[in-house]
Every structure is written in structure tokens, then in C-alpha cells.
Amino acid sequence: MKDLTIALENRPGALAEMGGTLGRAGVSIEGGGAFVVNGHGVGHFLFKDGAAARRALEAAGIRVLEVRDVLAQRLDQTEPGQLGKISRRMDEAGVNIEVLYSDHDHQLILVVDDMVRGREVSEAWTREQALRVREREQVANG
């Protein structure tokens, strides 16, 4: 999966043009969002095929500012504070979370400044989450 940072004009129809361009190219958006910051539109969108998304957008004159790898993490929705906990883990590892959003499968998507360390934290988190689930199932089953 790839996160594309996309420059969007701050005007009605800019997002529709982006979405239409991708649709005509057969490229699906897997998650993301668009924002206006200091009067400028910027989008962060998730794609299975980042290269195809970039080609389609740039062919239509839509600027792609960056293409980056992401970390995808499933949070335990039954336990409050998950975002704070995983963010603290990233902080303790010296990893800065630069972009955060959810995908269409309810996973947390993280774009970080250090993928090696970030991946280590994410993989450890996943192992710990799986262990917690097994422990809850054991308690529930007696």
C-alpha cells in the first residue's frame, strides 16, 4: 500500500476531478482524506497500486507531491486509548508519525519518518494484540 500526498486546488470540484480521474483509470482509493491548510488543499490517499494512481493523476495535471510506504495497524476497538498507546510506542522508539488516517477496512494507517523503526513497533504491537486476544478467549472459554 502507498500513501500519495496530492496537491488539490482549494475550490469546488477539485476533489471530484481527482476522484473522476482515478475512477476512469480504474484505480480505487483504499482510504485517506483531504484538508485545507493555510488556504491550500492537500490530500493523503491510500492506494494498492501507488504507481498507477500517480500516473493517472499526473496525466490529468494533478500534482502528486510524494509517494510513501505506510504501516497498517488494527486497533482493538474494545479497549479505549489505543491511539494514545501506539503513538506513545512510536514516540519511545523515536518515530514521528507524520500522517494518520483510517482505511476502508477500519485499519489505522500511519506514515512515519522512520519505516524501519516504525515497522518494528508495529510488528511488536500486532504480536501483543494477538496475545491479548488469545488470553481473552481463554478466559471466556474457562
> For residue range 55-105, what is the model confidence (pLDDT) as tens digits?
999 999 999 999 999 999 998 888 899 999 999 999 999 999 999 999 999
Please tell me the pTM assigned to this model.
0.88
CATH of 2-69, one of 3.40.605.10, 3.10.420.10, 3.30.2130.10, 3.40.190.10: 3.30.2130.10
Cell of 75: 486497533
Q: With bands split at pLDDT 50, 70 and 90, how would you rate the model's confidence at 129? A: confident
| CATH topology (fold) of 72-141 | Alpha-Beta Plaits (3.30.70)
How far is 72 from 108, CA to CA, in rounded Å? 6
Domain boundary assignment for the chain: 2-69, 72-141
Spatial contact of 61 and 100, defined as CB atoms under 8 Å apart: no
Q: Virtual CA dihedral for 63, 66, 68, 71, nearest 10 degrees?
A: -80
Spatial contact of 29 and 45, defined as CB atoms under 8 Å apart: yes
Cell of 100: 494518520
Q: With bands split at pLDDT 50, 70 and 90, how would you rate the model's confidence at 16? A: very high
Fold matches, 2-69 and 72-141? no
